[in-house]
Structure 1
């Protein structure tokens, strides 16, 4: 398996529920290495770019509002096959469908919008990871 670096965003629900350390520990337990970590408030511009695939949908204002409820934590995580492994650890995007033992199954919203309030965003492939890392980290911030 190839050594990869991926982007994880700890969403506002993870931040407000104080889950960042717990979830980060799960990633580190798997042997992944932190290569960059920072807290940031997301602007309308960065959200429009990050969610360009849904920016024209009627529900996008709700996504933008949610992602601006608190600052988020951006994480650059490195490891062998990290992109797929992280997505497996997270479980399905819809927390209601995520099995116990997955991050979303254990901590995601089961009552409300389980597709949005699902603890973390993770890059879905190498090309997305490269673009997303550049979007959320400046030169010199990923080690």
Structure 2
């Protein structure tokens, strides 16, 4: 069964939208197989965002993502990676249609409520980054 890493971002947490977002994932039929809350530090953010860590806008990402604790989830389900991305809508919340998580709850490209894995391969890497294997639970 496919898995995806989800991070409920600081804007989601600040707006008290975690329950709404999690409900949407559960209502879509996905199973939560791991969950925890933590604050992201500079070293983990540089690793997670390595593909843009050398860009001039990275300090803004780092400041935003470390501004408050976030919730990490691992969702499991058939085709979960693409289905979650469809539920979220485009990365830029301003372009996301109503009815999508980002369209309903996000504000812009960075404050877009949720990070979600973009491929099965990256999901595996990201899950390993934030969870130990014994933290994953299955029925």
Structure 1: which 5+ residue stretches go unaligned? Answer: none
Residue 103 (str. 1) matches residue 97 (str. 2): no
Q: Which residue of 2 aligns with 1:80?
A: 78
Equivalent pairs, count: 137
TM-aligned CA deviation for residue 43 of structure 1:
1.3
Matches within 5 A, 1:1-143: 3-109=1-107, 114-143=108-137
Give CA deviations for 1:23-51 in whole Å, capped at 9, x if unaligned: 10000001100000000111111000000
Give distance in 1, aligned partners of 2:15 and 2:94.
18
Q: Tell me how large the CA RMSD over aligned residues is.
A: 0.5
Runs of 4+ with deviation above 2 angstroms: none
Structure 2: which 5+ residue stretches go unaligned? Answer: none
- TM-score w.r.t. structure 2 length? 0.97
Give distance in 1, aligned partners of 2:125 and 2:95.
28
- TM-score w.r.t. structure 1 length? 0.95
Give distance in 2, aligned partners of 1:78 and 1:127.
14
